Amino acid sequence: MRHKNNEKSRKIIAAATKIFAKKGFYKAKISEIAKEAGIADGTIYIYFKHKDDILIALFEEKMKEVLGNMKKQISLESDPFAKIERFAYFHLKLIEDNKDMAEIIQVELRQSSKFMKNYQNKKFAQYLDLIGDIIQEGKEKGLISQDIIPGIAKRAFFGALDEMSRFWVLSKRRKYDIETAARQISSYFINGMKN
Amino acid sequence: MRHKNNEKSRKIIAAATKIFAKKGFYKAKISEIAKEAGIADGTIYIYFKHKDDILIALFEEKMKEVLGNMKKQISLESDPFAKIERFAYFHLKLIEDNKDMAEIIQVELRQSSKFMKNYQNKKFAQYLDLIGDIIQEGKEKGLISQDIIPGIAKRAFFGALDEMSRFWVLSKRRKYDIETAARQISSYFINGMKN
Amino acid sequence: MRHKNNEKSRKIIAAATKIFAKKGFYKAKISEIAKEAGIADGTIYIYFKHKDDILIALFEEKMKEVLGNMKKQISLESDPFAKIERFAYFHLKLIEDNKDMAEIIQVELRQSSKFMKNYQNKKFAQYLDLIGDIIQEGKEKGLISQDIIPGIAKRAFFGALDEMSRFWVLSKRRKYDIETAARQISSYFINGMKN
Amino acid sequence: MRHKNNEKSRKIIAAATKIFAKKGFYKAKISEIAKEAGIADGTIYIYFKHKDDILIALFEEKMKEVLGNMKKQISLESDPFAKIERFAYFHLKLIEDNKDMAEIIQVELRQSSKFMKNYQNKKFAQYLDLIGDIIQEGKEKGLISQDIIPGIAKRAFFGALDEMSRFWVLSKRRKYDIETAARQISSYFINGMKN
DNA sequence: GATGAATGAGGGTTCATTCAT
DNA sequence: GATGAATGAACCCTCATTCAT
């Protein structure tokens, strides 16, 4: 469905990000998104076959960007523990800098399994694997205990950060600063998984 | 709105739990819930003013039960670390035993801020505080480092468990058993927060 | 349908009069009428088969009373012109004293032909005929011109009074007093039909 | 709400006129009106926000037309009494030629104060004032007695004509011809108000 | 007779999607 | 490709009426 004219496609996704974040997927109207994007309702259907597809494309695009950025950040450190701390900080920073996107991922990602039966959220799996790989590396380097199961630990760590950011997204004010929260949360896991 | 006849009220909530879990709130039809409950569509409106109210009541009821159970479980242990491990185990057990409820809380709770503007999820806050109180107790007993911020740690711990159970709820098969996951996750936090 | 227990029947009609006047027939709910009457919803259906029947019974009862009163008033005068003036005065007085009833007759009587296919409004015809008979008497006594067609004049006179009272019923304040309006309107007709 | 496409707007009003007249406002279904207009249900909501709005627009449009026609007719006469007679004739003629519209105004206008709380029926007031102005003119020219109160007389005259036409609209056959009725009714008022 | 919880048909309204221009 | 008026299926909710107690 995606045509060559990526500019308009991106404009639609940008508008949808704003509207989905404000109203939620189900309450967001195509006409609102079109208006926000400065185009006609029908034009959206030239670029996306269904309303669902906008959300999927939105995920893909945002996650691709997020994934790329995080990979770059992690590669700047060589120590697995430093990588974990950096991951925590940039994950929370990302949320801070992209409230709308964050809110959608927080809220609508959960629903994805419902209305997008066949949508395999590969990008999200890859994001989780960034953490899994760090842990694996830590185990291989003897820094992390062999008892640690990366498949559990990566989810636990992501969940910890995610819940923290959910709290921030939904409450309007931020109680703890990003550095503090990142350091706290990464310290639980670093100390908790240490050999 | 709730009448004396709690039996029917509970029957509706039970039906709604099943349908909301299967379809999600927005795709769930009142007529389906009514059919599942074995009553007429209109009967639902004797007990609930709006579709939204069913979800709110559902939250309240489930959370009340969950909260009560968890309080009891925690009180069976005196050591804060044992409490944490027990919390982890029973939280995951709860999810396992109440897949439908879990899925709704996982998925729809996120949306609550969207369609229930004025719904303050007090019960959830209390649930989080169960963890916060254990951590506080641990700090007071000198078992947990003074550096630990309970407001962050309680969310991190809940988030870790929550993401784990989300994984289980959405994927149909369970990769790790409950005991293992509970022990892993609680160990990260126990070791991570230890003095 | 009407049972012996006229007391309850009248209580229902009294309540319906109030509610129909306030909301109109279609927006009035049976449950509201029942509440106003201090009885259960279902009880109404012991006395009336349908919602429509309450309105019909209401008409019948009110019109019977109105008809009786007006007959008595007219009989107090012997001069046709005096009868006309008295009719005008008491018609307007009646409206004044029975705002609710008046509003229903004003508003709902018009709709009667729609939802009460088989309801022949005999009492209203008799009320009109009170005027018609006076005019006929006036013609016979040589007071009223032979050109006057009672079938037209009775409706014109009733309509004149009716429009005046409609104005009063719908606007909350009364601009002209009853005596003035009655004297004005009857004078148009008396002078207008005079031989 | 009203778009540029007045053609469709008028088509909807025409269909609504027919359906409202046949069934009454409350029993008329949007789907029926849409079918009668040869459009989809939803299309109606492009032009009118609510069912009520169709009725309001219908009034406005019809009254505007009626008002314009009557103004023209009256201006053709210079003598106030001739104006009154012409008013009577054309009012009744109008009813005759627009049975559906008449029935709606007769029946539904009465309900207007109920469901259109804030709708001020200005056009109707202007219509009444056409009569009021004639009477005022008659008084100024010394043709009509100074005792006559235009505010009462205009309503009485309109009411007389209105009741007559109501009779015609509701009974299917016409007992008296228009000319006769118009001449009778106007003569009551002309002779009745004469100086 | 009285109750009021339960019923379920019915209808106004929304909005994703289409398609003629 | 872009438009936006038109479509019509879908669904929440109301409320007159019923009937077991």
Per-residue HEC secondary structure of chain C comes to CCCCCHHHHHHHHHHHHHHHHHHCCCCCCHHHHHHHHCCCHHHHHHHCCCHHHHHHHHHHHHHHHHHHHHHHHHHCCCCHHHHHHHHHHHHHHHHHHCHHHHHHHHHHHHHHHHHCCCCCCHHHHHHHHHHHHHHHHHHHCCCECCCCCHHHHHHHHHHHHHHHHHHHHHCCCCCCCHHHHHHHHHHHHHHHHEC
Predicted pLDDT of residue B30: 97
Same domain, residue pair A27 and A94:
no
Q: How far apart are CA B191 and CA A190, in angstroms?
A: 9
Q: How far apart are CA B59 and CA A55, in angstroms?
A: 27
8-state DSSP, B145:
-
Question: Closest approach of chain B CAs to the CA of A4, in angstroms?
Answer: 33
CA of C31 to C1' of E1 (A): 19
Predicted pLDDT of residue B1: 42
Same domain, residue pair A34 and A67:
no
Question: Closest approach of chain C CAs to the CA of D137, in angstroms?
Answer: 17
- Residue C84: give its domain's CATH number: 1.10.357.10
CB C95 within 8 A of CB C181: no
The dihedral built from the CA positions of residue D119, D122, D125 and D127, taken in this order, carries a sign that is negative
8-state DSSP, D195:
-
Nucleotide whose C1' lies closest to the alpha carbon of residue B9:
E5
Residue nearest to nucleotide E12 (CA to C1'): D30
Helix or strand or coil: residue D144?
strand
Same domain, residue pair D30 and D85:
no
Determine whether the interchain pair B163/A156 forms a contact, defined as Cβ–Cβ distance below 8 Å.
Answer: yes
Same domain, residue pair B36 and B112:
no
Determine whether the interchain pair D163/C170 forms a contact, defined as Cβ–Cβ distance below 8 Å.
Answer: no
Calculate the average pLDDT of chain D: 89
Last-in-domain residue among A33, A49, A65:
A49
Same domain, residue pair D90 and D172:
yes
Q: Which of B34-38, C96-100, C189-193, D73-77 has the lowest mean pLDDT?
A: C96-100
Same domain, residue pair A111 and A185:
yes
Predicted pLDDT of residue C142: 95
Same domain, residue pair A97 and A150:
yes
Predicted pLDDT of residue C99: 85
For residue A156, which residues of chain B lie inside 8 Å, CB to CB? 160-161, 163-164, 184-185, 188
8-state DSSP, D110:
G
Helix (H) or strand (E) holding B15: helix B6-23
CA distances C18 to A55, A142, C28, C103, C104, Å, are: 54, 86, 10, 10, 9
Per-residue 3-state assignment (H helix, E strand, C coil) for chain A: CCCCCHHHHHHHHHHHHHHHHHHCCCCCCHHHHHHHHCCCHHHHHHHCCCHHHHHHHHHHHHHHHHHHHHHHHHHCCCCHHHHHHHHHHHHHHHHHHCHHHHHHHHHHHHHHHHHCCCCCCHHHHHHHHHHHHHHHHHHHCCCECCCCCHHHHHHHHHHHHHHHHHHHHHCCCCCCCHHHHHHHHHHHHHHHHEC
CB B83 within 8 A of CB B75: no
Q: How far apart are CA D22 and CA B55, in angstroms?
A: 43
Q: Is the CB of A123 under 7 A from strand F?
A: no
Same domain, residue pair B63 and B132:
yes
Q: Nearest CB to C185: which of D27, D106, D156?
A: D156
Q: Is the CB of C115 under 7 A from strand F?
A: no
Calculate the average pLDDT of chain A: 89
Same domain, residue pair A44 and A98:
no
Predicted pLDDT of residue C4: 52
For residue B151, which residues of chain A lie inside 8 Å, CB to CB? 175-176
Q: Is the CB of B142 under 7 A from strand F?
A: no
- Judge whether residue C109 has pLDDT over 90: no
- Residue A44: give its domain's CATH number: 1.10.10.60
- Judge whether residue B117 has pLDDT over 60: no
For residue A151, which residues of chain B lie inside 8 Å, CB to CB? 175-176
Q: Would you list which residues of chain D are within 8 Å, Cβ to Cβ, of chain C?
A: 23-24, 26-27, 106-107, 110-111, 113-115, 147-149, 151-153, 155-164, 166-167, 170, 175-176, 180-181, 184-185, 187-194
Range of the domain at C105: 56-193
More confident residue, B172 or A132: A132
Q: How far apart are CA D17 and CA D19, in angstroms?
A: 6
Same domain, residue pair C102 and C23:
no
Give tens-digit pLDDT for B66-106.
999 999 999 999 999 999 999 999 999 998 888 888 888 77
For residue D173, which residues of chain C lie inside 8 Å, CB to CB? none
CB B98 within 8 A of CB B171: no
Interchain CB contacts (distance < 8 Å): C and D? 129
Determine whether the interchain pair A191/B187 forms a contact, defined as Cβ–Cβ distance below 8 Å.
Answer: no
Mean pLDDT of all residues in A14-30: 93
Mean pLDDT of all residues in A115-132: 78
Determine whether the interchain pair C159/D155 forms a contact, defined as Cβ–Cβ distance below 8 Å.
Answer: no
Of C169, C26, C14, nearest to C103 by C-alpha is C169
Same domain, residue pair B111 and B37:
no
- Residues 6 or more apart whose Cβ sits within 8 Å of residue C2: C9, C47, C57
Of C66, C95, C77, C88, nearest to C180 by C-alpha is C88
CB D160 within 8 A of CB C154: no
Same domain, residue pair C147 and C62:
yes
Predicted pLDDT of residue B15: 97
Question: Closest approach of chain C CAs to the CA of D50, in angstroms?
Answer: 16
Count of domains forming chain B: 2
For residue A102, which residues of chain B lie inside 8 Å, CB to CB? none
Nucleotide whose C1' lies closest to the alpha carbon of residue C44:
E2
- Judge whether residue D171 has pLDDT over 80: no
